[in-house]
Copies of this chain bind each other. A is one copy, B any other.
């Protein structure tokens, strides 16, 4: 409300993003519950109270981090809605998703992966945390599809998580994870499309 909003805003936003960055690091390494506000504050050379100026609660920090994920998921959904259905559409969708994955988003995926209980709890208490791939999955299968087909479609779209999970504790780097995720998506999409076709043959 003063005439120096811009500069005040700037430094405020910088501190905010530093907090998010450190919090992401701790939440991945130690887990959300084992990371205290104090851990985050002290790593930034400030006190707990200062941190509460920027975020109302610890949950709000987590929610901010998680939501970074959805903008790109919606872009992918918009792209998908403009594609004609084709046998290789699932594979192309998975590849498109992998190709637009940056190292920052990969870290958010690790966060979501290593803190499933609290994220599930937030979702149940009505926070704005949507479940990731559901809308995209529904483009390929429905509730009449076999469990096999539904699961294979999910796995095809989520090979990054599978590669990430398998790479835990190793020094395998970012680009290699995406490379392997790509290969895996290709072979899994074949299995998925086969299962979907089998469903259709059975229902006709």
- A residues contacting B by CB (< 8 A) are 28-34, 113-118, 121, 131, 147-148, 150-152, 154-155, 158, 161-163, 165-170, 172-173, 176-177, 179-180, 183-184, 187-188, 190-191
Q: How many monomers of this chain does the complex have?
A: 2
**One of B34, B155, B167, B172 near A180 (C-beta < 8 A):** B155
Determine the distance from Cα of A152 to Cα of B151 in the docked complex, in whole angstroms: 20
Determine the distance from Cα of A28 to Cα of B16 in the docked complex, in whole angstroms: 32
**One of B118, B152, B163, B184 near A31 (C-beta < 8 A):** B118
**One of B147, B162, B180 near A176 (C-beta < 8 A):** B147
Given contacts A118-B31, A166-B158, contact A151 B131 (CB under 8 A): no
Determine the distance from Cα of A114 to Cα of B119 in the docked complex, in whole angstroms: 11
**One of B34, B154, B180, B190 near A33 (C-beta < 8 A):** B34
Asked if residues A31 and B30 are in contact (CB atoms below 8 Å), the reply is no
**What residues on B are CB-neighbors of A190 within 8 Å?**
187
With both chains docked as a complex, state the minimum distance between the C-beta of A136 and any C-beta of chain B, in angstroms: 13
Asked if residues A34 and B188 are in contact (CB atoms below 8 Å), the reply is no
**What residues on B are CB-neighbors of A154 within 8 Å?**
166-167, 170
List 20 other contacts, CB 8 Å, given A158-B165, A158-B166: A30-B117, A31-B117, A33-B33, A33-B34, A114-B117, A116-B168, A147-B172, A147-B173, A148-B179, A151-B172, A151-B176, A151-B177, A152-B180, A155-B180, A162-B162, A162-B165, A165-B165, A184-B188, A187-B187, A187-B190
